[in-house]
């Protein structure tokens, strides 16, 4: 792989994951979804549990891990090329929640119980679609302590300690590590997160996994990492986004995600600090840069290298932009 390759927006072949709570909704984006209960599409991934491979241009067929090794510092930016474990710093997913996900919580980077090589997991969700009455679990009820939480778990009344929130398309949820949460049936979500696959399950509705056996719970780790006073989780409606202006949805130490509404043409650009990740949330259009153009439609995800510079979004679409700051 030559370092003289001119930067261009990368499209990847997703890594699809079967989950007990998954369905078939990711087919609506035109992807070749394998058989089974597919809950996750790992759209941009550089993790031992999933590597996405480039579909377009000179780097077609290359995994993001190989690109990171050869071009990381040059292509990902002064900040975007750094992460806590040497890999690409973010993991981008589309989630089809055909059933309720487990009630879970993620650790911070400094939790001593982390698996070797893993990071903590701060993430955010953008709701792409929601069936009527859809909801999520988002945080604990006021005044829940470690002791009262542990007692509720032991007595099989954990649901009494959790907050349920109704959701609709366009809602955004920021989920710092330590926030107890669960997506529930009937939602389709774009997830931007630290590059980690560490999840601690608190409750899984006493259902069997794909192998017919109950999935493992991680009660002690969960109790250890839960932020009982809150970790700074925030949520917002995003229907106030204006064409041609970035609306910040989530700002964390690990990434910033903005929403942009494209009506016609809008020229923006990468910075030397970071790549841009673009997710087309709805509509259709294109991405044009100095030496080319790519079509974009709902469900498409792109990695734009830091040295790309100016690019123009065109069409009628809504996009999410994530970068490292």
Which pLDDT belongs to residue 82?
86
Closest residue by Cα to residue 196 from 314, 46, 324, 79: 46
Q: Which two tokens stand for residue 160?
A: 């009494």
Do the beta carbons of residue 286 and residue 11 sit within 8 Å?
Answer: no
pTM: 0.96
| Residues 24-56: tens digit of each pLDDT | 999 999 999 999 999 999 999 999 999 999 999
> Would you say 229 is a known binding-site residue?
no
> Would you say 282 is a known binding-site residue?
no
Instruction: Kindly report, as residue ranges, where domains of CATH 2.60.120.10 are found in the chain.
Output: 10-236, 247-323
Q: Which residue blocks in 78-203 are alpha helix, DSSP H?
A: 146-154
In 10 A of CB 135, how many CB atoms?
17
In 10 A of CB 293, how many CB atoms?
13
Q: Which two tokens stand for residue 132?
A: 């009527």
Q: Which of 68, 201, 235, 321 is catalytic?
A: 201
SS3 (DSSP) at 230: coil
Tell me the backbone φ, ψ of residue 117, rounded to 5 degrees: 85, -5
Q: CA angle, 133 as apex, 130 and 139 as ends, to 5°?
A: 85
The residue with tokens 């995800």 is 301
Across residues 63-86, what is the average pLDDT?
92
Closest residue by Cα to residue 128 from 19, 261, 251, 279: 279
Q: 223's torsion region: left (phi>0), alpha (psi -120 to 50) or beta?
A: alpha
| Residues 97-138: tens digit of each pLDDT | 999 999 999 999 999 999 999 999 999 999 999 999 999 999
Which pLDDT belongs to residue 1?
44
Tell me the backbone φ, ψ of residue 155, rounded to 5 degrees: -95, 10
Residue 3 has pLDDT above 60, yes or no: no
The CATH architecture to which 10-236 belongs is: Sandwich (2.60)
Q: CA angle, 248 as apex, 242 and 254 as ends, to 5°?
A: 155
Average pLDDT, the chain: 96
> Would you say 123 is a known binding-site residue?
yes
Do the beta carbons of residue 91 and residue 124 sit within 8 Å?
Answer: no
Q: Which two tokens stand for residue 312?
A: 């123009």
Q: What share of the chain is helix, strand, coil (3-state, %, to 5)?
A: 15, 45, 45
143 is catalytic: no
Closest residue by Cα to residue 190 from 38, 269, 301, 275: 301
Superfamily name with CATH number, domain 247-323 = Jelly Rolls (2.60.120.10)
Q: 29's torsion region: left (phi>0), alpha (psi -120 to 50) or beta?
A: alpha
């Amino acid at each position: 792989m030559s370092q003289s390759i001119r930067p261009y927006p990368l499209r990847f072949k997703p890594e699809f994951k079967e989950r007990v709570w998954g369905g078939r909704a990711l087919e609506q984006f035109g992807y070749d979804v394998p058989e089974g209960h597919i809950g996750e599409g790992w759209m941009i991934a550089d993790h031992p549990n999933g590597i996405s491979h480039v579909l377009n241009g000179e780097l077609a067929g290359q995994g993001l891990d190989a690109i990171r090794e050869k071009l990381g510092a040059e292509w990902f930016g002064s900040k975007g090329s750094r992460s806590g474990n040497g890999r690409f710093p973010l993991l981008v997913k589309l989630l089809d929640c055909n059933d309720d996900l487990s009630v879970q919580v993620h650790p911070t980077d400094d939790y001593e119980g982390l698996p070797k090589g893993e990071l903590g997991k701060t993430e955010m969700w953008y709701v792409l679609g929601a069936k009527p009455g859809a909801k999520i679990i988002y945080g604990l009820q006021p005044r829940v302590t470690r002791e009262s939480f542990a007692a509720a778990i032991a007595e099989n009344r954990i649901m009494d300690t959790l907050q349920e929130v109704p959701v609709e398309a366009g809602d955004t949820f920021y989920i710092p590590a330590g926030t107890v949460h669960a997506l529930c049936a009937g939602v389709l979500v774009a997830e931007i997160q630290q590059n980690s696959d560490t999840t601690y399950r608190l409750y899984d509705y006493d259902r069997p996994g794909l192998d017919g056996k109950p999935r493992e719970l991680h009660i002690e780790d969960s109790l250890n990492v839960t932020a009982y006073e809150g970790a700074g989780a925030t949520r917002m409606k995003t229907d106030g986004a204006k064409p041609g202006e970035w609306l910040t949805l989530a700002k964390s130490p690990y990434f910033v995600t903005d929403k942009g509404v494209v009506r016609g043409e809008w020229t923006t650009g990468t910075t030397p600090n970071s790549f841009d990740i673009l997710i087309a949330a709805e509509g259709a259009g294109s991405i044009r840069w100095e030496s080319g153009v790519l079509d974009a439609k709902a469900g498409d995800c792109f990695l734009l290298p830091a040295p790309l510079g100016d690019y123009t979004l065109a069409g009628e679409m809504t996009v999410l932009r994530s970068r490292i700051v």
